[in-house]
Amino acid sequence: MSNHISVVTEFAPEVQSNRKSEFPVNPLFLNRWSPRAYSERKVSDEDLNTILEAAHWAPSASNDQPWRFIVAKTQEQLGIFHQFVNEFNMVWASKAPVLIVVASKKVRGNGDPNVAHAFDSGTAWGSLALQATLLGLVTHAMGGFDREKARQLLNVPDELELHAVIAVGYLGDKSKLPEALQARELPNGRLPLSEVVFEGTITK
């Protein structure tokens, strides 16, 4: 059984040499990154349900909880997902033992448009990714997939918007990736805070 009550106190080795925050934050936030090398190790149902539980506790406008997660974990289910993930991503995503489509409901229960549905579902994805990191799992969100084909194959109603496909699994051997991707298999950095944070008004 996994220890779901985890605390991160140390930076991962690959993070220490590639990422540094300007201000002190818990190592969890830097340790989460998006690798492409996946091992063949399966993800337990318990761990999968734990990361989905964490996602489901994300905040949402009026507590509407617009997020929806379509999960593929069997060979048959994964085979269907592989049909709509684009070719570039399939080079590595085909190894991931779990794929999750993140969607969101665009309309509230009373029929009004929910203008916050995508914002709220992005927050849920962030919670999923952080909980996965706590469990020793890695995640990678992909926007490169055929949304119309996914909608048809997964029987997704028009009221749901499709956002991303999330690969979930354990970190694998990057030497098994194509050479061009091996060079990118490192935690990336971030823009300085001064380029994304403004006090009072936006400045150029």
Q: What pLDDT, in 10s, does the model give residues 85-144?
A: 999 999 999 999 999 999 999 999 899 999 999 999 999 999 999 999 999 999 999 999
Name the residue ranges covered by the structural domains of the chain: 52-170
**pLDDT per residue over 137-158, tens digit each?**
999 999 999 999 999 999 999 9
Band of pLDDT at residue 4, cut at 50, 70 and 90: low
pLDDT tens readout for residues 17-75 = 999 999 999 999 999 999 999 999 999 999 999 999 999 999 999 999 999 999 999 99
Report pLDDT for 1.
Answer: 43
- What is the predicted pLDDT for the residue at 5? 64
Under CATH, what is the fold of the domain 52-170?
A: NADH Oxidase (3.40.109)
How much is the average pLDDT of 75-83? 98
CB 199 within 8 A of CB 110: no
3-state secondary structure 100-169: EEEEEECECCCCCECCCHHHHHHHHHHHHHHHHHHCCCEEEEECCECHHHHHHHCCCCCCEEEEEEEEEE
What average pLDDT does range 188-199 have in this prediction?
A: 94
Contact (CB, 8 A) for 86 and 151: no
pLDDT band at 9 (very low <50, low <70, confident <90, very high): confident
Q: In Å, how far are 75, 82, 105, 140 from 146, measured between CA atoms?
A: 20, 10, 19, 17
In the prediction, which pLDDT does 7 show?
A: 76
